[in-house]
């Protein structure tokens, strides 16, 4: 079923606007004619400088901020700001930012009668899909502090839905890649580009991914669709890929030859655990697959970029910054 859409242009507050996903969301909103208020730590941390964009300096989100007067001047909020890629000893900081700040923003949005699109994570369901793809109504089973904080944040927002009528949409993406990607995906890009032999030829897992501009497009669709209010959606590029296929596709996009060596995945995981990299290796060998048919059917959403196009654009950025 296709949804009805909001035709008028909006003033949208974007938290985490200077981040990897946030910059793409701001660009897409501006390209669509919307006005954007970019919540950033300082006006120098984002490279966006366009008509229709206003910087709002909020400093450290974990500090006490009164969001009520801020959201009074907007039509909707996209909440992206979060702490990720941290170790367990940072759990207090993770929960302060990912849960307490989310609750404060949600309460202000509810009081003002505005809309909130909250970007959560597939990690609320766990780090591995063992019995087929995850669906939106599957049980929560987070395995790290980040996933647990996203579960807690979603719970806080749903309490506001029931208590205050918060107009909420939740998106749960898998691994996001694209220009300016960091962390493990960037490390994989470097390894493939360097021509390192990788013992991953026998890995036949299924991992869902999403190109950053596809995620930004899904966020925009949720903002513009009335039917998205009250819904939670998983979202991805399309069919999941194995790690071996991903490496081959990356090598082709980078203009490199593929150097994959056959090796039993089970032994890889044992070796990874012995050197303290067990979690990293399991991300390469295990499956994390989602079913995003709900957003496609209910909102009529289709990713504007294919998996191959997303990798090509990511590779072009990587090669340019490497040079």
Report the run of H or E that residue 103 belongs to, with start and end: helix 102-112
CB-based contact 207:289 (threshold 8 Å): yes
CB-based contact 60:81 (threshold 8 Å): no
Residue 121 burial (CB < 10 Å; 0-12/13-18/19+)?
buried
> What is the C-alpha separation between 184 and 3, in angstroms, rounded?
36
> What is the C-alpha separation between 323 and 311, in angstroms, rounded?
18
The catalytically annotated residue of 118, 146, 305, 318 is 146
Distances 40 to 64, 69, 147, 180 between C-alpha atoms, Å: 15, 17, 24, 18
Could you tell me if residue 183 is left (phi over 0), alpha (psi between -120 and 50 degrees) or otherwise beta? left
Q: Is 318 a catalytic residue?
A: no
| Catalytically active residues, by annotation | 146
């Amino acid at each position: 079923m296709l949804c009805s859409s909001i035709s008028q242009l909006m003033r949208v507050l974007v938290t985490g606007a200077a981040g990897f996903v946030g910059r793409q969301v701001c660009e897409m909103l501006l390209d669509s004619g919307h006005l954007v208020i970019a919540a950033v730590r300082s006006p120098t941390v984002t490279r966006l400088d366009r008509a229709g964009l206003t910087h709002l300096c909020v400093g450290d989100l974990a500090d006490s901020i009164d969001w009520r007067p801020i959201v009074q001047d907007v039509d909707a909020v996209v909440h992206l700001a979060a702490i990720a890629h941290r170790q367990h000893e940072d759990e207090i900081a993770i929960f302060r930012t990912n849960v307490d700040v989310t609750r404060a923003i949600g309460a202000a949005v509810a009081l003002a009668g505005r809309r909130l699109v909250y970007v959560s994570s597939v990690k609320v369901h766990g780090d591995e899909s063992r019995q087929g793809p995850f669906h939106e109504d599957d049980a929560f089973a987070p395995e790290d502090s980040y996933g647990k904080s996203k579960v807690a944040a979603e719970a806080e927002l749903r309490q506001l839905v029931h208590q205050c009528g918060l107009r909420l949409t939740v998106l749960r993406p898998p691994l996001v890649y694209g220009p300016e990607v960091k962390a493990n995906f960037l490390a994989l890009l470097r390894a493939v580009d360097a021509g390192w032999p990788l013992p991953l030829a026998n890995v036949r897992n299924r991992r869902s991914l999403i190109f950053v501009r596809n995620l930004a497009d899904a966020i925009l669709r949720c903002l513009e669709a009335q039917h998205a209010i009250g819904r939670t959606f998983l979202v991805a590029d399309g069919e999941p890929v194995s790690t071996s296929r991903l490496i081959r596709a990356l090598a082709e996009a980078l203009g490199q030859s593929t150097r994959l060596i056959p090796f039993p995945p089970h032994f890889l995981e044992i070796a990874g655990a012995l050197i303290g990299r067990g979690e990293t290796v399991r991300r390469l060998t295990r499956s994390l697959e989602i079913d995003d048919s709900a957003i496609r059917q209910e909102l009529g959403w289709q990713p504007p970029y294919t998996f191959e196009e997303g990798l090509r654009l990511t590779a072009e950025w990587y090669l340019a910054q490497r040079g």
